[in-house]
Structure 1
Amino acid sequence: MRATTGPQQMAEVLAAALAAGINHIETAPAYGPAEAFLGQALSQWRGSEPLVITSKLLPGIALEEGKAQLRGILQRLGLERLDNLAIHGLNRPEHLDWALRGAGAELLRWALAEGLVGQVGFSSHGELPLIETALASGRFSFCSLHLHWFDQTRIPLAQAALREGMGVLAISPADKGGRLYAPPEQLRADCAPFEPLELAYRFLLDAGISSLTLGAAQASDLDLAKRLTAEEGRWLEPSHRQALDRAWQAGQSRLSASACQQCRACLPCPNAVPIPELLRLRNLDLGHGMGAFAQERYNLIGRAGHWWESVNASACSGCGDCLPRCPHNLPIPELLAETHERLAAAPRRRLWG
């Protein structure tokens, strides 16, 4: 999704990926010209090892439009068959209904019956109950979820999916996982002698996550992947575990008694404030020096459609409904007000709408 400057850039990224031992390439029509550039790069590839290619379709489209879009994907990629077709952003209940009972269900059945795709799955930025329902539906063979070192909420769902034989892909552990390719100095010091991104990758691989998306824009973005794939599964040595624990404890120490432990007992909020997610951004800002990332994410709230939260901390009325439910006795309304004051700023545009 990031190698979109031209075909040469994509060809260089693909070559570096193959040299790193990567064999799964994911793209989507929504990623601008990336899919067409990938098709051009694939047409020049002369390797003998098979590649696994995934592309995605946005939910909510009519059956005939979906058929036309899938044919367009295959044409751009120069393929007769797509290994994996994912619903791109199964984020709301109506998206799941479309995929299980509506035109989406017909589209997926048609694509499988025609032999145009090998298996179907979904990516989701949605709420935990929605993802759990999708995983339990029996419709999908794989899923792509936000699984991050600094956001471990969905990891139990991912591990349950793996136990059922599903494929699991972590969405953007480098970027959405905290802009870890450009970490703040405080976090780098806490993680020393390792880089934060390496620890984040190792953490997810050790948790059993079967694929990580790397979002490479240039060949050098895959240097770390090349080094890790050579290790053949030795993801967390004692020194890595010590560094992960040291970084986590440093954050907890800075936050002191105000750290939100992400138990979600505060929910539901009468004003639909996503309390745990907002306080997670506060944790990153104050605990790990990740203020730039926290501010970027906070200011996307209400501006990214169904891809992200729609209500920020200013919607807290101070009703106190959450207070007796918090097992850590956090002053949640006060913390939300502080979070808004610290993080609210001029918005930044998402890379993809």
Structure 2
Amino acid sequence: MQYNLLDRSNEENIAYAKSKGLGVVIMGPVGGGRLGAPSEKIQGLLKNKPASTAEMALRFVLANENVDIALSGMGDLKMLDENFEVASRTGHLTEEELAHIKKMMEENKKHAQLYCTGCNYCKPCPQGIDIPYLFEIMNRHRVYELTEHAKSAYKEVINGWSWIKSADASKCVECGACEEKCPQKLPIIQQLKDTHATLKPQS
């Protein structure tokens, strides 16, 4: 199952599977690479700050007593060494540390929803902009301080990579159709401008 600091939606399912005697294998413990990028905010969730955001992410997943295996992708020997070191430890997090992390991540999630809940009512955009997706990328920077990853993800949008189904935020013509449909009455046009200005590659 998918499970990581940014996506805890399967937590109850994991516990249920374990209660039925099943082994639990976690995919995406580092959030598909998102948590591989540096973030002082996420590393700062522990008093004894971990060496990297990836370490924080892996320790969080392995601290769940219902998890048997975490499948963490690695691209070089340094990542292998780091994952081996983290996975070899006993007592990844105390109950107090785990509770604190979950509380802070819930607060961050609520903060992110102030910018966009991902309800998709704003879609489709006449210009082909996937507004919730771009705002999710922006929140990786704005809420979780995963700025390096956010900029990399937005660059993929600008470059029009085949698996990205969105135009970049600069393609907005300010027609206002999205704002009329938004139940939160968000200033979507301005937020799209902010997203592009903040995440676009610097010339």
TM-score range, shorter chain: 0.5 to 0.7
Which residue among 87, 97, 111 is the counterpart of 1:239? 97
- In the TM superposition, 1:332-343 aligns within 5 A as 332-343=188-199
Q: Residue type of the partner of 2:127? A: N
Question: 1:285 — aligned with what?
Answer: 141
> Structure 2, unaligned stretches of length 5 or more?
none
Q: Say if 1:149 and 1:177, in contact at 8 Å, map to a contact too.
A: no
Q: Give the whole-Å Cα distance in 2 for the aligned partners of 1:244 and 1:292.
A: 23
Q: Distance in 2 between matches of 1:217 and 1:287?
A: 29
Residue in structure 2 matching 1:263, options 115, 119, 128? 119
- CA 1:240 to 1:271, structure 2 compared with 1: closer, same or farther past 3 Å? same
Give the share of equivalent positions with the same residue, in percent: 22
Structure 1 residue 188 and structure 2 residue 49: aligned? no
Q: CA RMSD in A?
A: 3.9
Residue pair 2:129, 2:167 contacting (<8 A) in 1 also: yes
Q: Is the 8 A contact 2:42 2:56 kept in 1?
A: no
User: Which residue pairs with 2:178 in the alignment?
Assistant: 322
> Counterparts in 2 of 1:1-353, with a 5 A limit?
148-150=4-6, 152=7, 170-171=27-28, 173=30, 176-180=33-37, 183-193=38-48, 195=50, 196-201=53-58, 204=61, 206=64, 211-218=70-77, 219-222=80-83, 223-227=85-89, 230=90, 237-249=95-107, 258-303=114-159, 305-345=161-201
Look up the equivalent residue of 2:137 and give its one-letter code. Answer: L
Give the Cα–Cα distance (whole angstroms) in 2 for the partners of residues 168 and 308 of structure 1.
28
User: For each residue in 1:64-95, what CA deviation from the matched residue of structure 2 results, as whole angstroms up to 9, or x when unmatched?
Assistant: xxxxxxxxxxxxxxxxxxxxxxxxxxxxxxxx
Cα pair 1:191 1:247 within 8 Å, conserved: no
* 1:258 shift after superposition: 4.5
Q: CA 1:201–1:338 in 2, change beyond 3 Å: closer, same or farther? A: same
CA, structure 1 residues 199+185, in 2 after alignment: closer, same or farther (shift >3 Å)? closer
Contact 2:35 2:54 in 1 (8 A): no
Amino acid at match of 1:197: A
Conserved 8 A contact 1:299-1:344: yes
Alpha carbons of 1:208 and 1:310: their partners in 2 closer, same or farther (altered >3 Å)? farther
Tell me the TM-score normalised to structure 1 length.
0.43
The structure in which a higher percent of residues are helix is 2
Equivalent AA in structure 1 for residue 100 of structure 2 = Q
The answer to whether the 8 A contact 2:25-2:69 is kept is yes
Unaligned runs of 5+ in 1: 1-142, 348-353
Q: Distance in 2 between matches of 1:335 and 1:201?
A: 32
Shift of 1:287: 2.0
Seen in structure 2, the aligned counterparts of structure 1 residues 336 and 258 have a Cα distance that, compared at 3 Å, is farther
Contact 1:251–1:288 (CA under 8 A) maintained in structure 2 = no
Rounded Cα–Cα distance in structure 2 between residues aligned with 1:187 and 1:322:
32
Q: Shift of the alpha carbon at 1:346?
A: 5.2
How far residue 339 of structure 1 moved from its aligned partner, in angstroms, is: 0.2
Larger relative contact order (Cα-Cα within 8 Å, sequence gap ≥ 6): 2
Task: Give the match for residue 75 of structure 1.
Answer: none
Which amino acid counterpart does residue 225 of structure 1 have in structure 2?
A
CA distance in 1, matches of 2:116, 2:136: 7
Separation (CA, whole Å) in 2 of partners of 1:209 and 1:331: 44
Task: Note the alpha carbon deviations across 1:18-66, whole angstroms, 9 max, x for none.
Answer: xxxxxxxxxxxxxxxxxxxxxxxxxxxxxxxxxxxxxxxxxxxxxxxxx
Q: Distance in 1 between matches of 2:46 and 2:81?
A: 22
Do the aligned partners of residues 169 and 325 (structure 1) sit closer, same or farther apart at CA in structure 2, a change above 3 Å counting?
Answer: farther
